[in-house]
Structure 1
Amino acid sequence: MSRPFPRSPQSTFFFGTLALVVLLSLLFLAVGKGSTDGVLPTFLRSSNGRFSSPSAMVLKGEMEGLNWPSRLMEDQFYFIAGAGGGVTNQVVTLANMIYIALLSSRVPIVPSIYGYAGQLGGPLVTSPLLDLPFSSMFDLPRLFDHLHREHGLAGIIEWKDLVNVTKGDAYDKWNATSDWVDISCWNAFVPPFQDPMRTHRLNPTFSPLPPPTTPPRGGISIPTLTSYLHPDSPIIQPYLQAINGTVASLPSTKIACVDNLYYASVSIFVSNEWAGEAGFEVGAWPAVGRHMHWNPELRARGETVRRWLFGVSEWEEPVDFISVHIRHGDFLGSCPLSTPDSDIVPLCRSSDQYAYAVASMQSAILRQTGKTIKEVFVATDETDALFLHELTVVRRWKLVDEQLSLRIRRDWGDWHPTLIDKVLLSMGKGFVGTYSSTMSIASARRVEDWNGGPPSIYVNRNSPVGDDVPL
């Protein structure tokens, strides 16, 4: 559903024209037209033809004392945003952040992904949980190589590049050596969404974004926001002069900062835009998210678990399967009765609708490829023993159970059970998910775009059940 942003009559023409120009830029990015400027100097390239570091050209080599802003280059402009919520919500936010940085000619400073025991599923994990650098989850050199070559992005900085405190694959914010840094930000939320920034030792003060960017928790217009954040923006200075004296500190031009960008989108609400419902490919997914491939080591670990689940040796061809994501909260939230879990209607504890959707996906794959896919991998945060028995024993679908989760956590760390689920979901030849789940939407796009899967199927309380599956 579109979310219009009302404008005053005096600014309608100007903002409309400006938004149109930026929108055309977005479409340019979405179709992937190349840039002739994105060629890295030879001395920055590694033996595989890529570069030594995504931050090599935008960050000074040594920290002067404990003040990381001193490492920023004089001829560059930077962008920081907070990311909150579940892991996939943070991933969407970071993709939006990189996209907006790309459009506004800034270098993104990408925060680490934070988690907590209840979010990651399985047995309780150590608390506090170490944050996960972006590059421990995604192939950052591959992403930057694409964005630099195609769109001329100057660099990407990770938070761990600034504070230089890591423990294995994780960022140890609890023992970081950097000082707290005061930073002046724009707030898209009311009140400002500041907790993620404070976990990275940022002490933010906030100024409200100019209208029409900030309808109450309703979304952020990426074209309009980009027009404000561009270093050469002709329209932000009058606004800064207008609010001078009414806020604690005016936002910086050098380091632009926004409290949260999860609800940022180009044309329609963010989850619908990521799901491809805009009618054409637009926004952060085609420009950035599609190119956020897994960290190679994480991908290899996912392949290992895939072989464990389906009983295939490393010398055999991996088994093809359909991916299913059943999210407890979103599925139960769509049920007709708002009652405690113990009293929920049987429909909400049944996998019949998912089974029907899987059969429909099998038919779609058969029509598209001529192949019959029998195996199913399911990821779920559901803990009900009867429901899990129905999935694994009655339907014989594979999942990472508690015993395997413990093994994964023991071998690779607390983050890996949830990461492996995401990697395995992305390996499917077709995808069935839960309606309105951000994790389902992101997994669906990976299966469709990376593997050529048919259009994904999302299950809700109105989805069909039965044996009459269309062929």
Structure 2
Amino acid sequence: MGDAFGLARRRSLFFLLVLVVLTSVFLVSTEHGPSSVSHETTPPPPARPATEVSRVDIPDPDPFGPRHTLLGPPKAFFRDNLLPQHKYITSWLSAGWTNDVYTYINLIYLGLITDRIPVVPMFIPSHVGGHVPPIPFGEVFDVPRLRNLLGTSVLEWRDVKDVASPEIDDIGCWNIWESVQYREAFPRRSRIPDDLNLDISYTKTPDWIKMIPNYEHDQHVSFWSIATLAFPRTREANLVPPRPSPKHNVSLPPDEHMLCYDYLYYVSAHQPFEMEYDYSPAWRYVGTHMHFTPALEKIADTYIRQALGVPDSMQIPPFISVHVRRLDFQVWCGGLPIDECFASNQVIERRVREVQDELLERSGLKVPHVIVTSDERNSSWWDDITRQGWFFPDHAETKSLYGDWYPVLIDAVIQSRGVGFVGTDRSTMSIIAARRAQDWNKAPYRLVKWGMKGADDH
């Protein structure tokens, strides 16, 4: 009995010892990775230092920027930078600065509805003098913010092509202008193709794109009439012999990779000049997202502070912005004396009071400060502004400090910053300022009528 118990005890101790050895072997193998016998399992990567941040942990600040939609930095020839899986769209300018802003809004919206990446050129100095260099779109408007708000890519020509390149690109484009007016038998002229060293062969668009057929007093087309030309079936059905290019004398059909049109200012969805209407799709889906660059906003802040006498240590108080368009509108007065054609300062003041009353009634906000911007050069007119207790930006040194573009750019920012706005009827600068102030600041606004004595009586 004792021998059996001893034998059982020795066997138990033996099995316990074996179990301990096997467990130790298992633990060692799991701590130090797979056995050297295995050749199929990849060792785990070394541990990342605690201070290192993986690229996947950093959100891309500009997910729709050039590095995602182009092959690389700007190239001598623009085609060398286009990705085959993307399609692009562009156009040129030929009007005053605010009209040119409209044109680029239309270009970007047309890109949205045709699934193409807009490539936006620079602004040309039609309002500031031909001797002044163009200014890039991205020095005025915050392009990364625009891309983020749109949720899609928007490029500048300076992203695609080296603007200093002497190389000439041949390209075929659609000629809208010759189909919508009856005075000029050629595409709308612009300096931008020369600035970009583009040699363009134009193909005339079909006459059915015109919004009001056979009406000589309007040049509008609808977005979708010209958008159809971006798609293969309608494009092929409407190809006619192209006009040879001016430099290389080449005849090219409209480009399919970089779709281009000569001029996109006169484009609407429903009726001519609809940007001021609340339904305008180009404004609602694009224009409202075109915010000024932080650098331009900061410069405008200094002018607002100087005008109101507000030190840097204090917050800028709410103000009503006013835009009075006079100088270049005199050609529309039909010979009337300027004081009979344009509204007096007393009429403008009545409109300002209406906006002040609306702000007080709507939100309890009392806004005594008024900042006036205008193209008027008559010093006595500005003296009247001062006597009314209103303020204005001092542009005496603006050109020497920042350049010829900046008086109009700073004024545009100031106009957009008002908690209320009073502008000039039929001025695109006032219309777009009103839309910005309304969308960005929930600002009430008025547009003062003009053109005859008593035009704004109400």
Report the TM-score when normalising by structure 1.
0.76
* One-letter amino acid of the counterpart of residue 200, structure 1: L
Is contact 2:219-2:266 (8 Å) kept? yes
- 1:109 pairs with 2:109: no
Residue 194 (1) aligns with residue 189 (2) = yes
Question: Partner letter of residue 302 of structure 1?
Answer: A
Residue 390 of structure 2 is aligned with which of 381, 385, 397? Answer: 397
Structure with the bigger RCO (C-alpha within 8 Å, sep 6+) is 1
CA distance in 2, matches of 1:333, 1:369: 40
Selected match of 2:94 from 71, 84, 90: 84
- Structure 2 residue 131 is the aligned partner of structure 1 residue 128: yes
Given the alignment of the two structures, is residue 58 of structure 1 paired with residue 69 of structure 2, yes or no?
A: yes
1:187–1:209 Cα contact (<8 Å) kept = yes
Percent of aligned pairs sharing the same letter? 29
Paired amino acid for 2:335 = S
Q: Which amino acid aligns with 1:221?
A: S
Report the Cα distance in structure 2 between the residues aligned to 1:365 and 1:311, rounded to whole angstroms: 23
What secondary structure, in the 3-state scheme, does the structure 2 residue paired with 1:183 have?
strand
Indicate the residue corresponding to 1:294 in structure 2: 292
Larger Rg: 2
Post-superposition offset of 1:202: 1.8
Native 8 Å contact 2:100 2:265 kept in 1 = yes
Cα distance in structure 1, aligned partners of 2:407 and 2:173: 35
* 1:440 counterpart (426, 430, 434): 430
Pick closer, same or farther for the CA change 1:63–1:321 going to 2, 3 Å: closer
Q: CA deviation at 1:282?
A: 3.1
Q: Is the 8 A contact 1:54 1:140 kept in 2?
A: no
Contact 1:194 1:204 in 2 (8 A): no
Note the C-alpha offset of 1:234: 2.3
Residue in structure 2 matched with residue 413 of structure 1 by the alignment: 403
Matches of 1:281 and 1:349 in 2, distance apart? 29
Alpha-carbon separation, structure 1, partners of 2:55 and 2:425: 48
CA contact (8 A) 1:184 1:251 kept: yes
Note the aligned Cα RMSD (angstroms): 2.5
State the partner residue of 2:303: 305
1:73 Cα shift?
0.7
* Counterpart Cα distance in 2 of 1:199 and 1:105: 27
Cα deviation for residue 194 of structure 1 reads 2.8
How many matched pairs? Answer: 384
**1:408–1:44 Cα change, 3 Å:** farther
Contact 1:45/1:52, CA 8 A, preserved across alignment: no
Give structure 2 stretches of 5+ with no counterpart: 1-53, 179-185, 245-250
Give the equivalent residue in structure 2 for 1:327: 325
8 Å contact from structure 1 (residues 68, 178) kept in 2: no
Task: Give 2:279's aligned residue.
Answer: 281
Residue-by-residue CA offset, 1:377-422 (whole Å, 9 max, x unaligned):
1111111222222122x2122122xxx3233333323322111100
Report the Cα distance in structure 2 between the residues aligned to 1:398 and 1:283, rounded to whole angstroms. Answer: 35
Q: Which amino acid aligns with 1:352?
A: Q
Match of 1:379 in 2: 373
Question: Distance between the aligned counterparts of 2:74 and 2:367, measured in 1?
Answer: 54
Say if 1:54 and 1:458 are closer, same or farther in 2 by CA, change over 3 A.
farther
**SS of equivalent to 2:397:** helix
Which SS does the other structure have where 2:292 is aligned? Answer: coil
Residues in 1 aligned to 2:301 and 2:56: alpha-carbon distance in whole angstroms: 31
- Separation in 1, partners of 2:56, 2:78: 23
Structure 1 unaligned spans of 5+: 1-41, 166-175
8 Å CA contact 1:330, 1:434 repeated in 2: no
Contact 1:331 1:348 in 2 (8 A): no
Q: Distance in 1 between matches of 2:64 and 2:270?
A: 34
Partner SS state of residue 432, structure 1 = strand
Whether the 8 Å CA contact 2:203–2:241 is kept in 1: the answer is no
* 1:147 maps onto 2:150 in alignment: yes
The equivalent of 1:203 in structure 2 is 199
Quick one: which amino acid aligns to residue 133 of structure 1? P
Checking the alignment, whether the CA contact within 8 Å between 1:90 and 1:262 is kept in structure 2 is yes
- 1:348–1:370 distance in 2 versus 1, CA, 3 Å: same
Within the candidate set 156, 159, 164, 2:157 is matched to 159
Mapping of residues 223-262 of structure 1, within 5 Å: 223-230=224-231, 233-240=232-239, 243-244=240-241, 248-262=251-265
1:352 Cα offset (Å) = 2.2
Offset, 1:435: 1.0
Q: Quickly say closer, same or farther: Cα 1:44–1:457, change in 2 above 3 A.
A: farther
- 1:164 and 1:308 map into 2 onto residues whose CA distance is 39
Corresponding residue of 1:263: 266
Which residue of the partner structure matches residue 19 of structure 2?
Answer: none
What displacement does 1:358 show?
1.0
Deviation string 1:232-288 (CA, Å, 9 cap, x unpaired) is x42221222xx2478732111111110010011101113xx2111xxx523210000
